[in-house]
Amino acid sequence: MQIIKQAAKFSIVGLINTGITIGSIFILTKIFSVNYIVANAIGYILGLINSFFLNRSWTFKSRGKFRSQGLRFVLVFIMCYTLQLGLLIILKERLYINVDISQIIGMVFYTGLNFILSKFFTFKKESLYES
């Protein structure tokens, strides 16, 4: 039952991250006239920072080492994003699936894999015997 609760919280954090990312991009491009590529990068970075802190403290209630969890978080993001991008390209370019459908499939894959790796790798419960 706990995993369902964590998955729901993980999804809520994802929605908040999306709002932060979209809001940041909008504010940076429309109000401050920042280049859309720069604004996109900043928006995603802000969403990722929020994701780390909310998932660490709220979703998984982790008390592990901040630095090692931060490194694992970045590694998981890079891996999930790369695999999702590869899946997107295969679906669109090799299997000729509509790009929008391919994006959705890729997002579902990314989210599921990211949740599993976050739970069992990034924010895993530390053993009493680990230092």
For 54, the enclosing helix (H) or strand (E) is: helix 36-54
**Residue 61 CA, distance from chain mean position:** 17
Name residues whose C-beta falls within 8 Å of residue 125's C-beta, 6 or more positions apart in sequence.
62
Tell me, what's the pLDDT at 127? 60
pLDDT at 131 (0 to 100): 45
| % of the chain with per-residue pLDDT over 90 | 94
3-state secondary structure of 35: coil
Q: How far apart are CA 69 and CA 99, in angstroms?
A: 34
Residue 31 has pLDDT above 80, yes or no: yes
Euclidean distance between CA atoms 33 and 75, whole angstroms: 32
Q: How much of the chain, in percent, has pLDDT values that exceed 70?
A: 96
Q: Which domain holds residue 31?
A: 1-61
Domain end marker among 43, 61, 79:
61
Output phi, psi for 126, to 5 deg. -80, 140
> Among all chains, which residue has been given the structure tokens 């996109």?
40
Instruction: Pull the structure tokens for residue 115.
Output: 């949740």
Residues 72 and 44 in one domain: no
Average pLDDT over residues 116-127: 91
Examine the fold and report which residue of 35, 61, 87 is the final residue of a domain before the chain moves on.
61
What is the pLDDT averaged over residues 69-82?
Answer: 97
Total domains present in the chain: 2
Q: Is the dihedral angle over the CA atoms 51, 54, 59, 61 positive or is it negative? A: positive
Q: What is the pLDDT of residue 1?
A: 87
Whether residue 37 lies inside any domain: the answer is yes
Q: 62 and 56 in contact (C-beta within 8 Å)?
A: yes
Q: What is the mean pLDDT of the chain?
A: 94
One domain for residues 43 and 68: no
Per-residue pLDDT at 13 exceeds 80: yes
Residues 85 and 52 in one domain: no
The reply to whether 130 falls in a domain is: no
Is residue 56, in this structure, part of any structural domain at all? yes
| Residue 103 within any structural domain of the chain | yes
* Contact predicate 89/109, CB 8 Å: no
Q: Is residue 39 part of a domain?
A: yes
Whether the pLDDT of residue 10 is over 90: the answer is yes
**What is the pLDDT, as a whole number, of residue 3?**
96
Do residues 96 and 114 share a domain? yes
Q: Compute the average pLDDT of residues 69-89.
A: 97
Question: Looking at residue 125, what is its pLDDT?
Answer: 84
